Structure 1
């Protein structure tokens, strides 16, 4: 009955819009910082080009905040990374997997080789994301499985923005761990290098999340199908190579 009521309500909204002459349809989307800053803008614009009467609002924040907003119905759907926040109240669709890489300035002061051990990595000045970020939580959880605490690293500062992290690393202030699409341009141009860590290979999944036991209708359902369609190619929105398409996984 609940789904039927929601469907009737959505239909009523469309009828009211038609009567009033306002055919604009609205979708409220939330995204974590990586998805919201580097991936979703292109997808939203592409969908908008296919549906001129739709207005999509994108809110960017921490994954737990996005999840709470979905549950509280202030967002229709979200795109987030990681899985520690998933529960029975949510349906999640994996759309991509992004490799996490250690970055360093080309002429760093800490390593003689681009292949290092985890022990060597822990001694270098490390620029971390803030404790509330999903990437920080993901890395901390992995390190625990290896018997290592994130506090064992030489953390010199916490920064909540990947662009600021990149700038600090390029200025030879430290190393950091970031999703590969965020730094691909800088690596290609030689402003940053990628360090290979022996025995360490990390990747985290990007998922589209909606409320469970509830069917989206109308344009919202179309947008969900668009984001989760295997034929939809997600692109990183850093300006390194606007023509390079990220492989859909």
Structure 2
């Protein structure tokens, strides 16, 4: 381990997880050349090439994949050591890596992180956004400590190695431009006659929307598919179509500006859950973060 830089290892893991040096640079608040240099220094230390470019995507080599399998364990071991030392003082230190969907990150997470940072200023909180399948895979391979994700329509698809605690029931709503007067409630048949702007395939949110239409005998034909709920709201507000979105993204007057919002019939609900590995060692920092997120369940009742 002499001369082995743990920051360089984390940078390498972020490049692989995010798929590019530029995305990792944005995540780490570094320049792209600085990220490239850190990865290169790690490669020089090991005497092996760890990352190669395939088109615009950065992918791990065989050696990189082997190192990545150990990266989560190394990070956990370092956190455990810091936690043991911290118990001799009063502070909570270490790193907690959280995976979360972009909508929940915007509308749920900020006050929780703010409170944790106020109470534990030395706790290093890292947040990665993505769709639920990506986050679950990262939790399983220990590159994330926990996730707040939308549960799939069939929860049996979750691995047995994961501990799942449902926290929030979030009703979907229909939205349209302010000038378009939607009926209340809105059915799948009504929306099929209108241009649709909906989340792109691949995540649990889109799977739930597709299932809602399918139960009524329809397949939605989207004019636009985007990976950002906030972008969808902007396009709908500009008059480019209608959508079905999670209600949590439309809970305030500001978030509804320029939009008509209606309930759905039949009702469509998604469940957001806290997920982590059953065998995950719980440092104090991780325990405090879990407790803060579980507070969402109490507030949602």
TM-score (norm: length of structure 2): 0.65
- Find out whether 1:101 has 2:168 as its counterpart: no
> d(CA) in 1 for partners of 2:125 and 2:248?
24
The change in CA–CA distance for 1:159 and 1:87 in structure 2 (over 3 A counts) is: same
Q: Give the Cα separation in 1 of the matches to 2:246 and 2:198.
A: 13
Instruction: State whether residues 79 and 208 of structure 1, in contact with CA within 8 Å, keep that contact through their aligned partners in structure 2.
Output: yes
Q: How far, CA to CA, are the matches of 1:50 and 1:23 in structure 2?
A: 9
C-alpha distance after superposition, 1:85-111 (max 9, x if no partner) = 522111111111111100011212xx6
188, 198, 201: which one aligns with 1:131: 201
CA deviations over 1:31-76 (Å, ceiling 9, x no partner)? 1122222211221111111112211000001111111111111111
Tell me whether 32-41 or 127-136 shows the greater mean CA deviation: 32-41
CA distance change for structure 1 residues 222 and 24 in 2, over 3 Å: closer, same or farther?
Answer: closer
- Look up the match of 1:218: 284
- Alignment gaps of 5+ in structure 1: 1-6, 234-247
Give the counterpart of 2:238 among 171, 174, 178: 171
Higher relative contact order (CA 8 A, sep 6+): 1
Residue of structure 1 equivalent to 2:146: 77
**3-state SS of paired residue (1:41):** helix
Is the CA contact (8 Å cut-off) linking 1:97 and 1:206 kept in structure 2?
yes
Q: Counterparts in 2 of 1:1-249, with a 5 A limit?
A: 11-15=80-84, 24-83=93-152, 84=154, 85-108=157-180, 113-149=183-219, 153-186=220-253, 191-197=258-264, 199-229=265-295, 233=299, 248-249=300-301
- RMSD between aligned residues: 3.0
Aligned pair count? 222
> Paired residue for 1:243?
none
Indicate the structure with greater helix content.
2
Secondary structure at the aligned position of 2:240 is classed as coil
SS of alignment partner, residue 282 of structure 2 = coil
Distance 1:93 1:168, change over 3 A: same
Larger radius of gyration: 2
- 1:239 maps to none
Counterpart secondary structure, 2:133: helix
* Long gaps (5+) in structure 2: 1-75
Q: What is the distance in 2 between the residues matched to 1:125 and 1:27?
A: 42
Q: Is contact 1:186-1:192 (8 Å) kept?
A: no
**1:8 Cα offset (Å):** 8.7
